[in-house]
Structure 1
Amino acid sequence: MNTPLPIRALIVEDEPLARQTIRDFVAGEGWLEIIGEAADGYEAVRLIDGLRPVLVFLDIKMPGLTGLQVLQRVKHEPQVIFTTAYDDHAVTAFELEALDYILKPFGRERFRRSLERVQRRLIGTGEIGEPSLLERASRAVAEKPPEHLLRLFVRDRRGRVVRVRVDDITRLVGADDYVEVYADDTSYLVNVTLTEFERRLDPQHFRRVHRSAIVNLDHVVSCKPIERRLLLKLSDGAEVIASRNGSQHLRELFV
């Protein structure tokens, strides 16, 4: 799972107070972002498959479907932390390889230990005495972020977390809720929309040339007119055809 932005999490709880408690505890974690909430099992299925969160805080006993039934129905498979007032499902929870099983009411310290499990499972720890990549990235996120992205932390095809400098990105190609990021003669699949990248990248260097592609202007080595469009050749040898509207904006930049 690629995470150039904070890890996306969903809260599934039928109790408003429990949802608020989780929100409050997550608020101090710069590497974790709550992207939605569900108050019953059926809504949980819809949001898990629709939003595709990396992590779900999941109550077990809820109206409609139980938390266990929710996991049986969803197509997307997130990491799960069970939150419940009952301990009679703990064995089942760990058979399902849940990250943790928290009994309500829980305090901040117990919740913090659970989040540490999230970090170990998703990224792993570094060498002894050294912070993991996620921890280093999280510290940067927790600080005041720059106006535009400077680097990404993503998984390569071998599952390793690597750092990609934004300056090294030649282009980004979107498909649904995923983006293929091309840099250093390789590519990385990221679970972020192209529109979100467009919002976070510096427009002085990155331009959306058509609906499904953003190019790094610093890596454009030539452009060739084709009817009313421009064919862009990039430093990695790739070619991208800009839309008519995108071509018009590029002409204004290149003149």
Structure 2
Amino acid sequence: EPLARRQLRDLLADVAWIAIAGETGDGASTVRTVNAVRPDLLFLDIRMPEGDGLEVLHQLDHHPHVIFTTAFDRYAVAAFEVQALDYLLKPFGGKRLGQALDRVRQQIGGNSETLPERFAAATGRRQPLRRLYVRVGGRIIPVPVEKILHCEARGDYVALHTADGCYVVNTSVEYLAERLSPESFVRIHRSRIVNLEAVQAFERHDDKRVRARLTNGTTVVASRAWSSALRDEAT
């Protein structure tokens, strides 16, 4: 999926010891590219056009280390049977990817800096997202982040609620919490992020929780922990 590959490229961009040698979108071109480029590491999906990931591995002449990235957990046993280094379930964020890359470094080496240190530094250097790309019909369109009122987890996807409508993207709340500007966006629940610029007020929801009332009239309920922290800050 183009959007999933874009997210992975973004996460890998600041990892100094990784250079992206190629990218493919189907099984046949993956076999050709891996055999030609001969990479050390392959991020491989399970479900692809023209052959699934497991079939691809059996067709390769060159055999790199493999990390599977997929939305389907039922293939995990088969993946480890072919000696995959890790199995990342979409959507995943920088922390989970860092754990997988730590296994890679143990196998193929690297410099003395640990993966947690490298990812912490990389996250600190990256600029906040300015836009997200969403699929609408047969098109992919950009959504400027300032148009987002709030984000809501929906299984393996996230719903971006804007004044113009709702868009569903293949990413995680964890990833958005890492990459959206903390000056404007706050994660008030493990599955919800709100744009502070769109909040009219925080009001009582029940004895333990508050809710954000947004400019379009929508309300978003915060977690008990976040509600308590807000009350402490306001008193």
- Normalised TM-score (structure 2): 0.52
Instruction: Give the number of the structure whose alpha-carbon radius of gyration is greater.
Output: 1
Q: How does 1:157-172 map to 2 (within 5 A)?
A: 158-172=137-151
Letter matched to residue 58 of structure 2: M
> Do the aligned partners of 2:150 and 2:193 also contact (CA within 8 Å) in 1?
yes
1:237 match: secondary structure: coil
- Equivalent position to 1:223, from 192, 199, 202: 202
Shift of 1:153: 1.8
Residue 240, structure 1, aligned to residue 220, structure 2: yes
2:2 and 2:163 map into 1 onto residues whose CA distance is: 17
Q: 1:3 to 1:237 in 2, by over 3 A?
A: farther
Residue 21, structure 1, aligned to residue 37, structure 2: yes
Could you say which residue in structure 2 is the equivalent of 1:97? none
1:75 and 1:220 map into 2 onto residues whose CA distance is: 33
Residue 6, structure 1, aligned to residue 2, structure 2: no
Q: 1:242 to 1:60 in 2, by over 3 A?
A: closer
Q: 1:21 to 1:200 in 2, by over 3 A?
A: same
Could you say which residue in structure 2 is the equivalent of 1:62? 58
2:135 and 2:56 map into 1 onto residues whose CA distance is: 31
Q: 1:172 to 1:75 in 2, by over 3 A?
A: closer
Could you say which residue in structure 2 is the equivalent of 1:95? none
Could you say which residue in structure 2 is the equivalent of 1:152? 132
- Normalised TM-score (structure 1): 0.48
Residue 185, structure 1, aligned to residue 181, structure 2: no
1:151 and 1:160 map into 2 onto residues whose CA distance is: 16
1:248 and 1:204 map into 2 onto residues whose CA distance is: 20
Shift of 1:36: 2.2
Shift of 1:174: 0.5
Q: How does 1:79-228 map to 2 (within 5 A)?
A: 147-156=127-136, 158-225=137-204, 226-228=206-208
Post-superposition CA distance 1:171-199 (Å, at most 9, x none): 00012220001113301110101111111
Q: 1:173 to 1:75 in 2, by over 3 A?
A: closer
Could you say which residue in structure 2 is the equivalent of 1:48? 46
Q: 1:160 to 1:211 in 2, by over 3 A?
A: same
Residue 36, structure 1, aligned to residue 34, structure 2: no
Larger helix proportion, structure 1 or 2?
2
Structure 2: which 5+ runs fail to align? Answer: 9-22, 60-69, 73-124
Letter matched to residue 3 of structure 1: L
> Do the aligned partners of 1:172 and 1:215 also contact (CA within 8 Å) in 2?
yes
1:190 and 1:236 map into 2 onto residues whose CA distance is: 21
Post-superposition CA distance 1:208-238 (Å, at most 9, x none): 1112111111101122123121121111221
2:46 match: secondary structure: helix
Letter matched to residue 229 of structure 2: H
1:162 match: secondary structure: strand
1:248 and 1:22 map into 2 onto residues whose CA distance is: 53
1:6 match: secondary structure: helix
Q: 1:233 to 1:153 in 2, by over 3 A?
A: same
Structure 1: which 5+ runs fail to align? Answer: 25-33, 38-46, 64-73, 77-144
Aligned residues with identical type, % of pairs: 29
> Do the aligned partners of 2:27 and 2:56 also contact (CA within 8 Å) in 1?
no
| RMSD (Å), alpha carbons | 4.2
1:161 match: secondary structure: strand
